[in-house]
Structure formats: C-alpha cells, structure tokens
Chain A
Amino acid sequence: MKELFPMKQVMGFVFSLLLTTVALAVYFLDLSLTMGMTLLLVTAFIQAAVQLVVFMHAGETKDRGAIYTNVYYGLIIALVTVFGTLLCMIWGYI
C-alpha cells in the first residue's frame, strides 16, 4: 500500500497550493511594493522548482545530470540578465 500511495506528489500538491495562497495573500494584505514583489518572486521560484521536481519528474531518469545542468545554467543566465539589466538601466545609470 505504501508504495502505491503517491506520497511525494500529494505533499507536493499541498505545498504548491500553500505557495499559491501565500502569493495570493499579497493582493489582500496591505504590503509595501518591495515586500510584495519579494514575496511574489520568492514564491514563484520555489513554485517552479516544486513543479519541476515533483510533477515534471526532473531527476527521476538517467539524464538527471543533463536536466539539472540545464536548469542551473538557465537559472544563472536568467539571474545575470535580470540583475545585469537592473545594473545598467537603474542602479548604475546616471
């Protein structure tokens, strides 16, 4: 019975619902812009990770190495692009 019950998926589902609720709360609570954006970004990234690992089965096959390399590489480039752009267009712009 234990093997048949998809514990991981159920927990993942509950967790992702929780994340959605937290993100939704930003709308209802009266937060500052920075606070709200931070909350949204953080929950979004965790949400993406949960989906990828639990429901899209990253890491369950032989090519997990390739998949994770890809994800990390993508993450690095996304972060570099976002922060580099902020640097050029806002923080470092005179």
Chain B
Amino acid sequence: MDFFNRFAIPHPSPAIYASMVAIGITVIAVIAGLTYFKKWGYLWREWLTTVDHKRIGIMYLISALLMLFRGGVDAIMMRAQLAVPENKLLDAQHYNEIFTTHGIVMIIFMAMPFIMALMNFVVPLQIGARDVAFPRLNALSFWLFFMGAMLFNISFIIGGSPDAGWTSYFPLAGTEFSESVGSNYYMIAIQIAGIGTLMTGINFITTILKMRAPGMTLMKMPMFTWSSLVTNAIIVFAFPVLTVLLLMGTMDRLFGTHFFTTTNGGMDMLWANFFWVWGHPEVYILILPAFGIYSEVISTFARRNLYGYKSMVGSMVIISLLSFLVWTHHFFTMGQGALTNSIFSITTMAIAVPTGVKLFNWLFTLWKGKIEVTTPMLYALLFIPTFTIGGVTGVMLGMSAADYQYHNTMFLVAHFHMVIIPGVVFAMLAGLTYYWPKMFGFMLNEKIGKWSAWIIAISTLLAFIPMFFSGLDGQARRMYTYSESTGFGPWNMVSFIGAAGLAVGFALIVYNIYYSTRYASRDIAADPWDARSLEWATHTPVPAYNFAILPQVNSSEALWDAKKHGHELFPGKYEKIHMPNNSGVPFIMSCIFFVWGFSFVFSIWIPLILTTIGIFVCMGLRSFEKDHGHYITVDEIKETENNLRGA
C-alpha cells in the first residue's frame, strides 16, 4: 500500500475526483469506439506510424486545439475565482496549481504545437518540397511533444500538479518548499517535449536550407518560410539552455545536488537567470511564425506583394539576435545594480524598433492594396491595434526604473496577454482558417468565422485592459483573492466577463468546424483565396508526394507569376518519386519515453532503468535498419493526378 500512496493527490477536491472519473470514462469510450468501428488498423497505418509532414501537421493541430481547451478551462476557473472579492471557489493551493498549469499548457503545449502544426503543413509545400529533410525524425518530434504533453496533463489526477508558477523559480520549486511530485512533472514533461522541439528545429533548418525548389534563392522564399527559418534557428540556440536547466533542476530535486539551493554554494537566482535566457527567445519563437502568417494573409487579401520584403527579413534576423540580449528584463527587481539594468533596458527597448518596422510594412502593404476582409484578414486587421497596446506597454515595462512599479502586478499579466493573444492566438486562428481548405478540402464558414473573430477580439480587450488599471493600483499577480476594500472588485468582474466572452468565441469556432464539416461545399478550387505562393499550386487534397513535378520558381510569389505573368511552374514530365516509408519506431519510442518520464517523476528506479535501455535499443535499431524508402511509379502519379484534376 505504501508504494501506491505516492500516486495519491496531496490536495484533492471533488472537482478533481470528478475529472478522474471523466478522464477514465473518456479513455474507455475512445478504446471502445475504436474497437467497435474497427479503426485500430486505420489509426496505426494512417496516423500513428505516418511520417508525412501534412499528417503530422494535422496531429499537431488537433493536440493544440485540445490543449487550448484545457488551458482555457484553467483560465476560466482563475477568472471566476477572482471575479469577486473574498471568493471561495478555489483555495490558495488549487489556485497555485491552476495558474502554473495554465501557463505551461498555453505556452508549451498549445502555442508551440500550433506553430509546429502550421510549420509542418505549410513550409514543405511553400518551398516546393516533397517532405521535410528527416521525415522520421519529424514523427519522433511530434510524438515526443505529445507524450510530454500527456505526461504533464495527468499530473493533476496522479500525484498532484506543479504549483510554483510556469517559471518554476527556485528555491520555491526545490524539494524544501515543493514537496509533492508536481515540480518533477514540470522538469520531466517539459524535458521530453523540449527534446522534440529541438529536433524540429534542426529538421526545419535543414529542410529550408537544402530542399527549396529550383530557382528559389533565400531571398525568394515566401515570408512564412523565412519566419520559420529564423524561428528554428532561435530554437536551436535557445532550447539547449532549457534542456540543461531542466536537467539541473531535476538533479536538485531528485538527486540532492545544490545548483539552485540557498545553501551549500548553490545559487537560487541562477535558475531565474537561465530560465529567461531560454524564456525570452522562446517568446520570439512564438511570435515570429505568427508574424509570418500575418505577412501571408495580409499580402493575399490586400491583393498585392508584401511591402518591404528585405526589411521584413532583416528585421526578423535582428530580432533573432536581440532576443538573446534582453533576458534580464524579467528580473530587473531582483538585485542587479543600475548599470546592469540600464544595459538590458536599452537592448529591450531596441527590440521595439525592428518590431515597429514590421508593423509599418504591413500598414504600407494595406495602404496601396485592394483590401478584401475575409476571416483570416479580419484577424490580421484586429491584430494590428491590439498588439500595439501590448507592445507599447512592453516598452514601459522595459524601463527598469519604472518596472519596480509594474513588476509582478496585473499590469505585467495584461502586457503579455496583449502580446500573446493578438500576436500568437489570432495569428494561429487566422492561419487555421486560411489553411483549413488545403488541409481538409472545404472552407470554414465565413460568417461564423467573422463573428468569432469579433467576439474574441472584443473579449480580449475586456478581459485584459482592466488588468492594466488594477495592476497600477497594486493588484499583485498570482494572488488567489483580495479584500473588498482594495477596490479591485469591479475591474476583475469586467475581466471575468471578458474571459467568458473568449470562451464563447472559442466555442463558436468549434461550432464552425462542426457546421462547416456538415454543410460546406466540397467542391472547392485548389486555390480558393486567390493566393500567391506555392502551397496553393498543388491539388486539394494534397497528394502524398505534394508536387507531381517539382516547381520552378523565380520570385517569392511563384504562383502569382504563373497566374498573371504566364510563368511556367511545372516544366518537364513525370518521373518516379522517392518517398520515405512509414515507421512505428517514433511512436513506440515515445511511448517508452512516457513510461520513462512517469517512472522518473515518481522515482521508481527499476522501470526507469529498463525504459532507458529501451530508448537506446530503439535508437540502435534505427542505426542498423536498412530502409531505403519506396518509389511512386509514373503510372501511379498519372492516375492520382487525373483523379485529382477530375475532382
């Protein structure tokens, strides 16, 4: 019995027991459903073992939407708790667990996979490639991310969730102050997902550098591909810091080392320092692909080429460098002297310059354009003013002397939500709507789409603008309640209404997916938005090999050239196509990783050793395996092409 005690929740509540039951029932229902409809084989062949970048992209997308739901429920609970003073809905411990998991789920398990989803689906198509450089590695990346996310998500029903904030600062996150296994989950689950991300970084850099269609020089790449290249470069340089940091944290928690303790030569501040050495670049990993999406959407629906291509590229490269030079602004108040703080204030404010360049480029693109307001475009248009609020308050926070007033208040919370929501979430929703027809062969309903865009945008303002004021009045973040005499009540009530509005907006998106799946026309063109770049040059649904003939490119808008200037996109004739084989190893290996992580979290050593061996066995098998892929013959290509053209 002793052994099983460790899996109990340290701080249970009826809601948690209810979720346990709900999760149990869902799992049983899924298994029963798959068995009843005899879908196990289909699932295994078509999805679990796939190495196709399009399918992997779609799996990332589904995971991201699920995690958006999970993080959203956390958010609603927090706002409900704070809606009125002295509320008793949640107690302090639950509130701590919820804001911690909310932060991690939203950043690492929602925003990251959403970006990966679009990158996976779009980048190979946009550069005219047949897949990524290392398709099997790509599958491994996805499954590692997925297993990391699952491991993290079971924490609240097995053993207890982390509760030291998504930043998990030591010494609070050390064993002395966080006794439950919650922070172990943090260290291990993020580690597993992070390794996956790091591999994606390498994979996509290689893909973009090596696999572009003939004629596509670096300066002729579409803007989303450029943003992905820069993003993945940041990943490769930033994520190793996280890997090592989490490893050190794990050692402190499980093996009694003293990297971040306050005694025995440890230095607790070092955690905060390295966390942000990774953390600030991380926020740019999130925002740059979003900028890429906006660039695509804005130039498509302003019906003209992107204004200032070179300065767009240049500003991204500068941002990628500057993003590594500013991390200290996250702890201006933790003891550095004026000189140090000033240095980092200046670098921080400098980032606003290239960001501003991008904003003006979009505005100039719109200026001369014939704007057509579709749902993706609506998100882009709503993004510009709302993001500006977030950016300007960021510059305010960047002034170190003033930050003593803002730091750790709701003002900060309002700032980063005002950048992340318009910056990342709107962009992902825009990208989702924009690429939906390519992914699934029908369009999402425009009317419902626009409604949800407006509701989400207005609710974002309602939810977060009040926090600027209550923050300046002194409402601290991460506090589970406040007294009535503080006067924060009304602000928080408005915030709650905004949060509820956001929930309605997202529900409407889900409804839109349902509605359009049922009623939307399946008879759409391969290029329904009259777009400009290569991803729209192939059929819908995209055949496994993407392009029957590799496209020939001579500008960043190859499809537009083909449509308007008689450029010949697909010269030559069909040849047999070499494609990678599916493989179950990435999935199996990631499952082993899951058990490995679980054993690690609970310090169950024998399974840990066994699974470690298992992981190495999987890698060894790969080294000795002879897998030369397969060929798609010319006849098969002809048949597929004819079918797709007929449709």
Q: How many A-B residue pairs have CB under 8 A?
A: 46
Contact across chains for A84 and B336 when beta carbons are under 8 A apart: no
Q: Is A80 a contact of B336 with CB atoms below 8 Å?
A: no
Does B335 count as interface, using CB distance less than 8 angstroms? yes
Q: Is the CB of A77 within 8 A of B337?
A: no
CB-contact partner of A88 in B209, B237, B273, under 8 A: B273
The answer, yes or no, to whether B146 is at the interface (CB within 8 Å) is no
A19 to B185, CA, bound (A): 43
* Residue from A73, A89, A94 in contact with B237 in the complex, judged by beta carbons closer than 8 Å: A73
Residue of A nearest to B233 (CB): A73
Which residue from chain A places its CB closest to the CB of B336 in the assembled complex?
Answer: A92
Q: Which of B321-329, B417-425, B510-518, B600-608 makes up part of the contact surface? A: B321-329
Is A93 in the interface zone, CB < 8 Å from B?
Answer: yes
Residue from the list A63, A66, A84 in contact with B328, Cβ < 8 A: A84
Cβ contact within 8 Å between A81 and B343: no
Q: Are A88 and B325 in contact (CB under 8 A)?
A: no
Asked if B237 and A74 make an inter-chain contact with CB atoms under 8 angstroms apart, the answer reads: yes
Would you call A93 and B337 a contact (CB within 8 A)? yes
Q: List 15 A-B contacts (CB under 8 A).
A: A73-B233, A73-B237, A77-B324, A80-B324, A81-B241, A81-B324, A84-B325, A84-B327, A85-B273, A85-B274, A88-B340, A91-B340, A92-B339, A94-B336, A94-B337
Contact with A along B241-285 (1 / 0, CB 8 A): 100000000000000000000000001011001100100000000
- Bound complex: CA A88 to CA B339 (Å): 10
B327 to A, closest residue via Cβ: A84
List chain B residues, Cβ under 8 A from A49: none
Q: How far is the CB of B260 from chain A (nearest CB, A)?
A: 12
Q: Measured between C-beta atoms, what is the minimum distance from B233 to chain A in Å? A: 8
Is A18 interfacial (CB-CB < 8 Å)? no
Q: Which B residues are CB-close (under 8 A) to A11?
A: none
How many whole Å from A73's CB to the nearest CB in chain B?
7
State whether B325 touches A93 (Cβ < 8 A).
no
Instruction: Assess whether B267 is in contact with A80, with CB atoms less than 8 Å apart.
Output: no
- B270 contact from A77, A81, A84, A89, Cβ within 8 A: A89
Is B343 a contact of A89 with CB atoms below 8 Å? no
Measured in the bound complex, the distance between the Cα atoms of B237 and A85 in whole Å is 16
A-B pairs, top 7 by smallest CB distance, nearest first, are A92-B340, A94-B337, A92-B336, A92-B337, A77-B324, A88-B328, A77-B237
Q: Could you tell me if A87 and B343 are in contact, using CB atoms closer than 8 angstroms?
A: yes
Q: Which residues of B contact A88 (CB under 8 A)?
A: 273, 328, 331, 336, 340
B259: min CB distance to chain A, Å = 13
- Which residues in B have their C-beta under 8 angstroms from that of A80? 324-325
Contact of B277 among A74, A81, A87, A94 (CB under 8 A): A81
B209 touches A66 (CB 8 A): yes
A89 touches B324 (CB 8 A): no
> Which of B233, B237, B270 has most chain A Cβ within 10 Å?
B237
Chain B residues with CB under 8 A of A93: 269, 335-337, 340
Q: Is the CB of B267 within 8 A of A89?
A: yes
- A23-65 near B? 1/0 per residue, CB < 8 Å: 0000000000000000000000000000000000000000100
Which chain B residue shows the least CB distance to A85?
Answer: B273
A37 to chain B, nearest CB (A): 17
Q: Which residues of A contact B209 (CB under 8 A)?
A: 63, 66
Task: Report the separation of the CA atoms of residues A89 and B277 in the bound assembly, to the nearest whole angstrom.
Answer: 13
CA distance A81 to B336 in the complex (A): 16
**Residues of A with C-beta under 8 A to B270:** 85, 89
The residue from A73, A74, A76, A87 contacting B340, defined by CB atoms under 8 A apart: A87
Most buried by B among A66, A81, A88, A92: A88
Report Cα–Cα, A77/B324, bound state, in Å.
7
Closest B residue to A91 by CB, please name it: B340
Contacts of B343 in A (CB 8 A): 87
B560: shortest Cβ distance to chain A, in Å? 29
**Besides the contacts A88-B336, A89-B273, A93-B269, what 12 more A-B pairs have beta carbons closer than 8 Å?**
A66-B209, A74-B237, A80-B324, A84-B328, A87-B340, A87-B343, A88-B273, A88-B340, A89-B267, A93-B340, A94-B335, A94-B336
**Alpha-carbon distance between A84 and B344 when the two chains are bound, in angstroms:** 9
- Kindly provide the distance from the CB of A92 to the nearest chain B CB, expressed in whole angstroms: 3
Contacting residues, chain A, for B336 (C-beta < 8 A) = 87-88, 92-94
> In the complex, what distance in Å separates the CA atom of A73 from the CA atom of B234?
11
Determine the chain B residues whose CB is within 8 A of the CB of A91 once the complex forms.
Answer: 340
Q: In the docked arrangement, what's the CA distance between A77 and B496, Å?
A: 42
CA distance A2 to B17 in the complex (A): 78
Q: Which of A63, A76, A89, A94 contacts B269 (CB 8 A)?
A: A89
Given contacts A74-B237, A77-B324, contact A85 B277 (CB under 8 A): yes
CA distance A80 to B269 in the complex (A): 18
Q: Which residue of A lies closest to B342 (CB)?
A: A92
Q: How many whole Å from B543's CB to the nearest CB in chain A?
A: 31
Taking CB atoms, residues of chain A closer than 8 Å to B277 are 81, 84-85
Give residues 314-355 of B contacting A (CB, 8 Å): 321, 324-325, 327-328, 331, 335-337, 339-340, 343
Nearest CB in chain A: distance from B171 CB, A: 15
Q: Which residue of A lies closest to B339 (CB)?
A: A92
A65 to chain B: closest CB distance in Å? 11
Complex Cα distance, B241 from A83, in Å, reads 15
